Structure 1
Amino acid sequence: MAVATNLSDSDVTSPPEPGLTPAEMVARAEAIAATLVARQAETEERTFYAEDTHREFQRAGFYRVLVPRRYGGYEFGIDTFLRIAMALTRGCPSTGWMYCLGHAHALVVASLFEERAQAEVFAGGDFICPATVAPAGTARRTPDGDWLLTGTWNYCSGSPYATHFIGHTMVPAGEGGDLAPMMFIAAREQWRRLSDWGGQLGLKGSGSHSIAMDGGLVPAHHTLPSHMSQVSVTDGTPGRDLHGNPEYGGGQLSFMVMEDAILAVGMALGALDAYEELMRSRITMFPPNVPRTEDPDYQFWYGQAAGMIATGEAAVLQAIRQWTETCARGPAAVTKEEEMRIAAICHQVVDLCWHAVENYLFPTAGSSAVRQGQRIERVWRDMSMFHSHAGFAVFLSTIAKRELARARFGVGEDAHA
């Protein structure tokens, strides 16, 4: 990721470890991930990862990966961020999901909001900000032009340690106009987290609680008259100009769906790790009773799943590369067709990873390996829950395919937006 080129030394607040490299940060994630495997049950019971894990993430710099250098962040870019998320998800799907969807929206703020808002929102350095795409609640204008928000927003992954919250609500588009979505950033003191997560099939520890506001104050410059998934960056962004970094001018929707793909790969890799342990420690059920590593059927099942997951990983890493290369070509290159093409790749990645687990690893692991609380059983539940997520079940599975074709053939007035 190219770093900002339009900063003087006086503009920059140094991060805690100025010499830290992306490779070192990813290595930290991989080391921490190994310790998360044994803590999955407690994470599910708590409904979010532990306080000491949170502090370890802080020390590692994980909450500054996407924060601009200007504000004390590392500005390492989406490749580093998504590799960290994949590593953590491999160790614990709930922890990886909660981290990923908690920090990802630093890119949204650094790309779309003006300098004044960014300086205020990133003032703390660490940035954890769940977001929801479904509009909810009500908004009332103050005499000064700010907003007072009341309502409840569901599925706010990352909320337990959040510094901010990004949501949407419907407001009049103009004098007497129709209602239209408004995106907003609310500081932590303006909302409260509800204790309503953990009873779902999977991702029980992902910290996806609801957030409630009762007259929460949101400054006008912390709002945008648009929906996060519908923002066009083809004319440039405030962040691209402010930071001199092309990645702060990239497609927001395609970045969101790459999160889905990388999480699926991380989950599937965790299941493959568990299956490998079973291969090395167990023998076949029927004669000749040999180690599973020596049995042709288990060799095939492992190899087939490993190949499918490796293909998914290769595809999403290539999609990340294509996203960053598109950013470098300039704002006009970030077309709707390009975003939907990346989305189509991401759907295939999730499909490959799911079928590797569902068709090969889960059914052949053995009934004792899929008891409640076992690692493969947990991944199967988490990936099943993933399939109910609107980003996958509705958008990637259906809408993205249709919109890709519409953009390619110029159907609809927004086809080339």
Structure 2
Amino acid sequence: MTSLLDNARDLAPTVAARAAEAETARRLPADLARELALAGLFRMTVPAEYGGGETTAQTFFDVIETIGAADAAAGWCTMIASTSALAAAWLPRHHAEAMFSDPAGISGGVFAPLGKAQSDGDSYIVSGRWAWASGSANCQWLLGGAMIFDDGELRKLPNGAPDHRMMFFNAKDVALIDTWEASGLRGTGSGDMAVENVAIPADRSVSFLTDTPLSKAPLHLFPPFGLLALGIAAVASGNARAALDDVKALATAKKAQGSSRTLAERGTVQAEYSQIDAALEAARALARNAIAAAWAEAETGQPIGLEARARLRQAATHLTRTAAKVTAAAYDIAGGTAVYSKHPLQRRFRDAHVATQHIMVSPPTWELTGRVALGLPTDAATL
């Protein structure tokens, strides 16, 4: 029986071969998305009882990194689909089975609470518009975060913070708006999505902040936001590793103008390549250590401690931002060759610098994780 990682490795050449097609179309081709889905890569996080992978956090990372090396956009869509599907472990059985038991099913959406949900008995009436709906054109189910209102008043949690939940919409109830004219990750199709006065059952909504997963598998005790951040880092890491491979192939063949030596024979290139290779591998090792430590806690069946959760976010942010620097350095080594759109380093450079803009790996994460490291009182909701 093949593993999820074996499936990812088998599909990687196909994904790589179609990267330019996806970038031109500004979305993941539907037939390729279906192949990834049928390989189980979009349902890695779904409980096994619904036919999902219920994988380990490390395999989750490795699969996304593998697809991300083939094409960062396809890796990003894999990350979005699999983290959206994580909610299957929080939903009641009748919804989880209906939404996630189809092997070809794909989910996606936006966690940010940009919508408004008015409570109405056993339902919510939801309206809103969300940006960054990656992979949405291929989805059957789409989630959108929404603030909860009771009779027009914003519902608040006991700590005074606004109450918000992720609402799951049938794709037929969602309008997709093509806004995705981006510098990188163009093949993700991350346009806007919108709904207006859509009624959904209240129990078809999830909060990772206040709800408890029904599954007790280690994956579902793992911090959801930590897993999301690791997924982003995995895309960035795979993209950077591929950039190093690209520049290695180029350097062993290309000679600078007026030189009889290849780039690889030049001492400055050798030193630069070694340093950026070491930087990426060190950042990957930090991520693996953070995953292993948090997973060991998850296997005890107890909530994962604050320090381990902070380490996950710290490691994911460090890897994502290191990967962007490594990719930029590889682009520089390649010289003028990399400025042409036909060369993969051009796409990898742009993809790397869009990945760094996600809020889960943005610079404020350093302040958040630094407060934990220094023992200061910290709002750890997103850890």
TM-score scaled to structure 1, two decimals? Answer: 0.82
Equivalent position to 2:357, from 384, 388, 400 = 388
Is the 2:283–2:315 contact (alpha carbons within 8 Å) kept by the matching residues of 1? no
Secondary structure in 2 matching 1:87: helix
Q: Does 1:254 align with 2:226?
A: yes
Is the 2:64–2:235 contact (alpha carbons within 8 Å) kept by the matching residues of 1? yes
Equivalent position to 1:279, from 212, 231, 251 = 251
Q: Determine the structure 2 residue equivalent to 1:353.
A: 323
Equivalent position to 1:167, from 140, 144, 162 = 144
Residue 211 of structure 1 and its aligned partner are, at CA, apart by: 1.3
Equivalent position to 1:73, from 22, 41, 52 = 52
Whole-angstrom distance in 2 between the partners of 1:369 and 1:412: 43
Q: Determine the structure 1 residue equivalent to 2:238.
A: 266
Change (3 A) 1:77 1:131: farther
Residue 128 of structure 1 and its aligned partner are, at CA, apart by: 2.5
Q: Determine the structure 2 residue equivalent to 1:51.
A: 30
Deviations 1:80-113 (A, max 9, x none): 2321111111011111111211222222331x33
Equivalent position to 1:39, from 18, 23, 39 = 18
Q: Does 1:82 align with 2:61?
A: yes
Gaps spanning 5+ residues in structure 2: where?
A: 157-161
Change (3 A) 1:239 1:79: same
Equivalent position to 2:98, from 106, 109, 120 = 120
Q: Does 1:190 align with 2:173?
A: yes
Q: Does 1:370 align with 2:339?
A: yes
Deviations 1:169-217 (A, max 9, x none): 11237995555322222222321322221x1111111121211112222
Equivalent position to 1:308, from 266, 271, 279 = 279
Is the 2:45–2:219 contact (alpha carbons within 8 Å) kept by the matching residues of 1? no
Is the 1:173–1:180 contact (alpha carbons within 8 Å) kept by the matching residues of 2? no
Secondary structure in 1 matching 2:114: coil
Is the 1:102–1:159 contact (alpha carbons within 8 Å) kept by the matching residues of 2? no
Is the 1:262–1:316 contact (alpha carbons within 8 Å) kept by the matching residues of 2? no
149-158 vs 48-57, greater mean Cα deviation: 48-57
Residue 269 of structure 1 and its aligned partner are, at CA, apart by: 1.0
Is the 1:369–1:377 contact (alpha carbons within 8 Å) kept by the matching residues of 2? yes
Is the 2:124–2:199 contact (alpha carbons within 8 Å) kept by the matching residues of 1? yes
Change (3 A) 1:82 1:371: same
Whole-angstrom distance in 1 between the partners of 2:151 and 2:93: 25
Whole-angstrom distance in 2 between the partners of 1:393 and 1:413: 17
Is the 1:232–1:251 contact (alpha carbons within 8 Å) kept by the matching residues of 2? no
Change (3 A) 1:21 1:31: closer
Deviations 1:208-249 (A, max 9, x none): 12111122221111124x4x4xx268xx63221xxxx22222
Q: Does 1:139 align with 2:109?
A: no
What amino acid maps onto 1:124 in structure 2? D
Secondary structure in 1 matching 2:187: coil
What amino acid maps onto 2:12 in structure 1? A
Change (3 A) 1:33 1:414: closer
Whole-angstrom distance in 2 between the partners of 1:256 and 1:59: 22
What amino acid maps onto 2:137 in structure 1? P
Whole-angstrom distance in 1 between the partners of 2:144 and 2:369: 22
What amino acid maps onto 2:114 in structure 1? A
Whole-angstrom distance in 2 between the partners of 1:130 and 1:154: 12
What amino acid maps onto 1:113 in structure 2? L
Whole-angstrom distance in 2 between the partners of 1:62 and 1:372: 29
Whole-angstrom distance in 2 between the partners of 1:326 and 1:175: 41
Q: Determine the structure 2 residue equivalent to 1:149.
A: 126
Residue 326 of structure 1 and its aligned partner are, at CA, apart by: 1.6
Residue 159 of structure 1 and its aligned partner are, at CA, apart by: 0.8
Is the 2:247–2:333 contact (alpha carbons within 8 Å) kept by the matching residues of 1? no
Identity of aligned residues (%): 22
Whole-angstrom distance in 1 between the partners of 2:330 and 2:29: 29
Change (3 A) 1:352 1:414: closer
What amino acid maps onto 1:368 in structure 2? T
Is the 1:67–1:74 contact (alpha carbons within 8 Å) kept by the matching residues of 2? yes
TM-score scaled to structure 2, two decimals? Answer: 0.89
Is the 2:251–2:264 contact (alpha carbons within 8 Å) kept by the matching residues of 1? yes
Whole-angstrom distance in 2 between the partners of 1:138 and 1:65: 30
Residue 397 of structure 1 and its aligned partner are, at CA, apart by: 4.0
Whole-angstrom distance in 2 between the partners of 1:119 and 1:55: 19
Secondary structure in 2 matching 1:132: strand
What amino acid maps onto 2:292 in structure 1? R
The alignment yields a C-alpha RMSD, in angstroms, of 2.5
Whole-angstrom distance in 1 between the partners of 2:18 and 2:60: 23
Q: Determine the structure 1 residue equivalent to 2:159.
A: none
Residue 321 of structure 1 and its aligned partner are, at CA, apart by: 2.0
Residue 368 of structure 1 and its aligned partner are, at CA, apart by: 2.1
Change (3 A) 1:263 1:293: same
Change (3 A) 1:208 1:281: same
199-208 vs 120-129, greater mean Cα deviation: 120-129
What amino acid maps onto 1:189 in structure 2? K
Is the 1:106–1:127 contact (alpha carbons within 8 Å) kept by the matching residues of 2? no
Whole-angstrom distance in 2 between the partners of 1:105 and 1:72: 16
Secondary structure in 1 matching 2:127: strand
Change (3 A) 1:321 1:174: farther
289-298 vs 95-104, greater mean Cα deviation: 289-298
Q: Determine the structure 2 residue equivalent to 1:96.
A: 75
